[in-house]
């Protein structure tokens, strides 16, 4: 159950860039609706071999509603930044679910406290509270 995906091409290979459109449409068709996507142009350290302009990557990312990074796995350029951005997008997209989960946990803790104060805990409730420790 992926929540985020990197679509990666090699900036020194026009062919790898052309395949991104197929991959992007496959993701749109088969992945969950709220999956977060980032386009990555890798090998930015090989500028002298570049076949795909930065502007091409930017345009494709914009067309598909993705963020875009040029990275270098060799020099570690933009690696942390791209992973951090994908994590931010996933967390933001799932904020509603996280908020509901937090509220549910808080409600259960409040109910357990109320039961304890009222002296209505039984063995099952006590063992259930033990799980929260």
Q: Does residue 35 or residue 46 have the better pLDDT?
A: 46
Is there a single domain that holds both residue 48 and residue 104? no
95: confidence class by pLDDT, cuts 50, 70, 90 = confident
Q: Does residue 87 or residue 100 have the better pLDDT?
A: 87
For residue 102, the enclosing domain spans 97-130
How many independent structural domains does the chain possess? 2
Buried/exposed code over 120-131 (b: 16+ C-beta within 10 A; e: otherwise): eeeeeeeeebee
Would you say residue 54 has pLDDT above 90?
yes
Q: What's the pTM value of the predicted model, to 2 decimals? A: 0.70
> Which residue, 106, 98, 95, 100, is CA-closest to 132?
106
Is there a single domain that holds both residue 26 and residue 84? yes
């Amino acid at each position: 159950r992926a929540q985020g995906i990197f679509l990666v091409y090699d900036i020194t290979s026009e062919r790898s860039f052309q395949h991104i459109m197929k991959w992007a449409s496959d993701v749109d068709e088969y992945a969950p609706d709220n999956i977060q996507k980032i386009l990555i142009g890798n090998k930015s350290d090989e500028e002298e071999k570049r076949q795909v302009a930065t502007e091409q990557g930017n345009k494709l990312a914009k067309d598909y509603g993705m963020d875009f990074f040029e990275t270098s796995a060799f020099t570690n350029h933009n690696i942390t930044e791209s992973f951090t951005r994908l994590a931010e997008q996933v967390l933001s997209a799932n904020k509603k679910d996280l908020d509901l989960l937090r509220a549910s946990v808080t409600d259960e803790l409040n109910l357990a406290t109320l039961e304890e104060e009222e002296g209505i805990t039984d063995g099952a409730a006590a063992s259930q509270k033990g799980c929260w420790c």
